[in-house]
Chain A
Amino acid sequence: MSTSVQPAIDVLIARFPDIEFAPGPLMPRDKKEDEQLCVRVPPDRLLEVMRFLREDPRCSFEQLCDLACVDYLNFPNARNRFGIVYALLSVSRGYRLWVKCFVNDPDPEVPSVTSIWWGADWPEREVYDMFGIRFEGHPDLRRILTWEGFEAHPLRKDYPLHGRGERENFVVVPREGA
């Protein structure tokens, strides 16, 4: 059975008293033990907090389970546009923690955590590809799922489901002019 992640959050708050972590559940639940806890970290402090979370034996989040991005454009009461969600997992202790980092237009950028968890390599490239968020310090930040010449970021909320880039909208180039 998984243990509570609360002690690790307390350690984190004690270590960085100047950061407003705003710890809380992703979603309130009736049973407290079902809640998935989440902390917020500003992008400029992200690397040191993440390094602490991985290396401190009281936290020991050895694995970056997932890295995703959510575009909160049009989301009710949202104040920031992009939320990058790091799902951390402690394999030795069996608990999880979600870390959120909010960035905004123009030029959204966060530091890359590939130096802490190698497993962040492709997920960061995917977020770059799909949302256009640059990861500073990533060794090989290229598009991963779409092709190299592709210009848009399809998972942004202002990218339509239909129409853009579809076959009938392609420019047909005659063979001689190609």
Chain B
Amino acid sequence: MNENKPDNLPIRMSGTFSMLAILLVSVLFVFNLMFGSVSIPLEAVWQLLTGGDTDNVVWHNIMLQSRLPQAMVALGAGMALGIAGLLMQTLFRNPLAGPSVLGISSGASLGVAFVILVAGQLFGISFSQLGLFGDVSLLFAALAGSLGILLIILLVSQKVGGTLSVLIMGVMIGYLSNSLVGIMKYYSLEEDVHTYVIWGLGSFSRLPLERAQLFLMLIIIPSLGCLFLSKWLNLLSLGDNYAKNLGLRIKRSRMIIIMMSGLLTALVTAFCGPIVFIGMAVPHLAKIISRTSNHFVLILNAGILGAATALFCNLIARLPGIDTALPINSVTAFVGAPVVISVIWNRRKEQLGDS
């Protein structure tokens, strides 16, 4: 094939952008290891990453026990949320769809609330003092909660035809589980409520290195699997009727896409707490740099940019000069909300242009 053919132009240009984005992720990853309440020079980071000997044990410990797992979790979580958000936005053909909108994050919160607030009282112990066992049960509760809500959404999406109704159902289920959590909070011990609130703020820093590695593996495999959904997503983006006319089995493909994006969201929420706005904002950034409607490219870029965004937010949260890290969700909201607002702003302009 002649590579100069303009057919390939958008792909090649977005390829360049993707390379730049990967470079950005690497730089941000290294910055995440370097900066914080203690600044560590680049050479020490390099020594750690290349597996060399360490000159400074304190630096080494800080990176290995705190910053490296944190950066790995941020990378994985951002990637998963970016891809999950893109899947949702295409499936619902709605630029404001995101993992949290479907109620999956709320489902995870419900599970966690049950463990922290209710189970603790039933057994007469406070989970906040249980250590590792408490952590593990927390993770399972989050997974169970998100996948439970996901199953409800799946059933609803089979019974109810339109994607919009499924979206509204998701929002309603989110409200319901929030109010359930509110009731649980009301009858709980003060320290348990405190624990739950801390979890709800979201954090990339809960996992030690081994579990951060496991988390990253658990994220990367389904993320790569999503690339195989790209043809379906391309067809669904034309609208259900056109997709059906082009031979797509709508129900089956829609189910599998919901399942994948739900799995990614559940994983992240279970390990990091509910992380807002990344899943909604990153797909828009991916569409801007991709310049193609092909989801193979879009998914790749959403993953890369999601990782970059999460690393960037994590960096901001631990800016030098601040003693304790800021809650990550406050930072993601500050980074993500302007993107979402600008999307709505541009849509308004388009609508004005139409009339």
A-B interaction: no
